[in-house]
Structure 1
Amino acid sequence: MIKAMGEANVVLFGEHHNNPIVHWLQYEATVDLSKSNKLTLGAEMFEADNQTQLNQYLAGKIDHKALDTVARLWSNFTTDYKPLVDFAKDNNLKFIATNIPRRFASGVFRGGFENLETLSNEEKTWVAPLPIKYDASLPGYVKMKEMMGGHGGDNLPKAQAVKDATMGYFILKNREEGKLFVHYNGSYHSDNYEGINWYLNAGDPNLKIITVSVVEQDEIEKFNSEEKLKADFIIVVPTTMTKTY
C-alpha cells in the first residue's frame, strides 16, 4: 500500500470518523510516506475559511487551546486529527483545510446550488468555483437519496456534492508537482471512485489517485466480496472495535 501511495499524485485516505484503528493507520502511513516523498496534507475535517487559523497553529503563533477557540474543530480532534496536524507542524508541511464551510453546505441542502450565488466574493473563495459541476446519476448520490427515503429531495445529494467538489478543488489548487498530496476524508467521499475522486478526474484526468476505504465486519476472517471494488485498498475492521465517540 505504501509503495502504491508513494507512486501516486493524490491519496484519498478514507476513514470512519470514529474509528481509531484507521486514524492510527493514517498517521503511520503518513510517517512512512514522508521518508521517501515530499508531502502536502489536507483534510475534510477543516473548513476552508479556517485556513488562516490553521496556518497560525502550524507556524506556532497560536497553541491548541487558541486554535480550538478560533476554529471549528471536530469533537474528536485531539485524539484523532491533532497527531496528523502536529506531524505537519513538526515537519514544516502544508496542511490544507479543504472542506466547504458547513453553513454553506447547509444552505445548499435548504435551497440548492442557487443559494451559493448569494455568497459574498470573499465567501465564494471558500467554495469550488461556481457553477458547481454535478452529475445526479452517479450511483453514490442516487444511493444517498434512496437511503434517506427521499427526505431532503434532490438537494441532499447536492449538499454532498458541493463538499466533494470543494475538497477536490482545494486539493487541485494546492497540489504541487513533485509532491504527494495525502487527503483524509470520510470514506463515503471517495468510495467507488466517485465523490472527490470524480471531481479530481474532472479537473485533471491525468492524475494518479490511490483510494483507501474502510469496511466493518462482524467476522474479519472472510472478506465480504461485495466490497471488493470499493477502493484500491480496503481496511477491514471488526465491528466490536472501540469507537472514539
Structure 2
Amino acid sequence: MRNFILATFFLCCAFTSDKKAYQLFNQKGKLVEYEQVVTDALEADIVLFGELHNNPICHWLELQLLKDLHTKKKDKLILGAEMFEADDQVVLDEYLQKKITSRHLETESKLWNNYATDYKPLVEFALANNLPFVATNIPRRYASMVAKSDLTVLDSLGNDVKKWIAPLPIEVDLNLPGYKKMMNTGGESGMAHGHGMNMGNLAKAQAIKDATMAHFILSNWQSGQTFLHVNGSYHSDNFEGIVWYLKKQNPQLKILTIASVEQPEVTKLQDKSQNLATYVLAIPSDMTKTY
C-alpha cells in the first residue's frame, strides 16, 4: 500500500510540473531571468529583438520588454521595426500624431498580414505613450530589384527614392557566415535555388535590408537613448547583419541582441544556439503559431 501511494504521488508530480512557454539563456547557454535582460537592455544603446515572425511568445515578450523599458527610459526610448518600410514613415507618423485614423494607416501603408495580432500592440503602445516609431526597412520592391539583378541597379534610382535606402554604395561582405549560409541554402525558405536565382544577389538583397535598417536606427538615435528594434532573428543572429553595419558606423555602440529559437525542450539551450546572441529566447517547438 505504501509503495502504491508513493508511486501515485510521483506520477501526479510528473504530470503537474510546470510547462514553460519559454526560457531565456545568456550567450554561453546559462539560464537567466527576464529581469536580467531588462536590466542590461536599459544600459544598451541599441536593443535588437530577433523574432520568429509567426511565434506568439516573441510578440508577447517584445511588448513586455517595450513596456518595461518605457517605465524607466520614458522619452529616452525609441521604437523601430523591420516590418515597416521607410517610405511608409509619413503615414506612420501621421497616425502617431493622431492626424489620421487607424483605417488610413492600415489601408495606405504596406502592413504585414499579421499586423493586427503581432505588431499593432507595439504601435498602439507608441501612440498611447507619445513614442517615436521608426520605419527602418528598405521598400521591398528595391530589395527585390537587387535580388533579381545586383546592387548596381540601385544607382539608377532617383535621389527622391534613394532617401529610403542606406547611402550608396553599400559595402557587402559575402564571406560573413550569415550571407554565406544564405547563398548555400537559397534564403529563408530555401526556394531561391528552385527559381534559378543568383545566390550572391540574394545575399546582397539581404545585406541592403540590414544596411538600411542600421542606417535608419542610427539616423534616429542619440546618445543617452535606447532604441528597441524588432526584426527577424536572422537579421541579427551571430552579431552579424544589422549589428555588422551598426558597428561599422559606430564601433563604440553598446548593442544587446536577442535571438529566438525553437527546440523540443527549453530546459537546456541546444549547443548550436550558444553564442547566437547576447540572450537567446528558447521556445517549445510545438508552440502555437500566429500564421
TM-score by length of 1: 0.98
Q: Output aligned runs, 1:121-140, within 5 Å.
A: 121-140=159-178
Aligned partner of residue 96 in structure 1, secondary structure: strand
Deviation at 1:99, TM superposition (A): 0.1
Structure 1 distance, partners of 2:128, 2:268, is 40
Name which of 137, 150, 158 aligns with 2:204: 158
Aligned twin of 1:199: 245
Query: Paired residue for 2:29?
Result: none
The answer for the alignment partner of 1:17 in structure 2 is: 53
1:151 shift after superposition: 4.2
1:189 equivalent to 2:235? Answer yes
Q: Tell which structure's C-alpha radius of gyration is larger.
A: 2
Deviations 1:164-210 (A, max 9, x none): 00000000100022210000000000000000000000010000000
* 2:283 counterpart of 1:237: yes
- Aligned residue identity for 1:11: V
Tell me, yes or no, if the aligned pair for 1:8 and 1:208 is still in contact at 8 Å.
yes
**Is the 1:41–1:93 contact (alpha carbons within 8 Å) kept by the matching residues of 2?**
yes
Which string of whole-angstrom CA distances, capped at 9 and with x for unpartnered residues, describes residues 91-134 of structure 1?
A: 11110000000000000001110110111111000000000111
Map 1:166-185 to 2 at 5 A: 166-185=212-231
Contact 2:136–2:217 (CA under 8 A) maintained in structure 1 = yes
TM-score w.r.t. length of structure 2 = 0.83
Q: Which residue of 1 aligns with 2:69?
A: 33
Q: Which runs of 4+ in 1 moved over 3 A?
A: none
Paired positions, count: 245
Shift of 1:239: 1.1
2:148 and 2:197 in contact (8 A); partners too? no
Does residue 1:6 correspond to 2:52, yes or no?
Answer: no
Could you tell me which amino acid in structure 2 is paired with residue 5 of structure 1? A
Give the C-alpha shift of residue 65 in structure 1: 1.4
Tell me the distance in 2 between the aligned counterparts of 1:55 and 1:66: 12
Partner of 2:104: 66
Q: Distance in 2 between matches of 1:212 and 1:6?
A: 14
Residue 157 of structure 1 aligns with an amino acid whose one-letter code is A
The Cα of 1:153 is off from its aligned counterpart by 2.4
Unaligned runs of 5+ in 1: none
Match of residue 48 from structure 1: 86
Structure 2: how far apart are the matches of 1:34 and 1:152? Answer: 43
What percent of counterpart residues are identical? Answer: 53
Distance 1:244 1:83 in 2: 14
Distance 2:289 2:153 in 1: 36
State how far apart, in whole Å, the 1-side matches of 2:97 and 2:239 are: 34
* Contact 1:10-1:210 at 8 Å conserved across structures: yes
1:132-171 residue CA offsets vs partner (Å, 9 max, x unmatched): 1111110000001101258432101000000000000000
Q: Is the 8 A contact 1:145 1:151 kept in 2?
A: no
- The alpha-carbon deviation at position 35 of structure 1 amounts to 1.2
Over aligned residue pairs, what C-alpha RMSD do you find?
1.0
Q: Secondary structure at the match of 2:179?
A: helix
Task: Supply the distance in 1 between the matched residues of 2:138 and 2:69 (Cα, whole angstroms).
Answer: 27
Aligned to 1:79: 117
